[in-house]
Amino acid sequence: MSTFLLEIVTPERQVYSEQVESLNVRGVEGELGILAGHIPMVTPLQIAPVSIKAGGRTEILAVNGGFVEIRKDKVVILAESAERPSEVDVERAKAARERAEVRLQSRQDEYDHRRAELALQKAVNRLKVSEK
């Protein structure tokens, strides 16, 4: 099967850089499956797990927003943050989820409400990936 280079980069570090067979991401308009030779494009990403198939194995990473750029022989994900399951601090993610849920139940302005929603999505994303 044909492969392509996948790089996942955050402002702090390069999280992933390997040849892969396929990649599944969740863009703002829905799921996107990427194979070698995919048409070039750029699209924003949702806060969601990213599924990577390489060497007969599947790896799931927690990607919290950003963009995916698909080139002829390379895909780059520029993410706000990205974590492998082993890097997720489960207790911290659970605490963040609980804080966000409490903030969502309180009366607050629209800006704070949106921040709490994003915090909740990020915490749930991390917990989903850590369970797999």
Over residues 58-94, the pLDDT tens digits come to 999 999 989 999 998 899 999 999 999 888 888 888 8
Can you give the pTM of this predicted structure? 0.83
Give 83-109 as a DSSP string.
E-GGG--HHHHHHHHHHHHHHHHS---
> Which amino acid is it at 120?
L
- Whether the pLDDT of residue 132 is over 80: the answer is no
Q: How confident is the model at residue 111 (pLDDT cuts 50, 70, 90)?
A: low
Q: How far apart are the first and last CA of the chain?
A: 25
Q: What does CATH list as the number for 4-85?
A: 2.60.15.10
Instruction: Return the CATH architecture of domain 89-131.
Output: Up-down Bundle (1.20)
- Show me where the domains of the chain are located: 4-85, 89-131
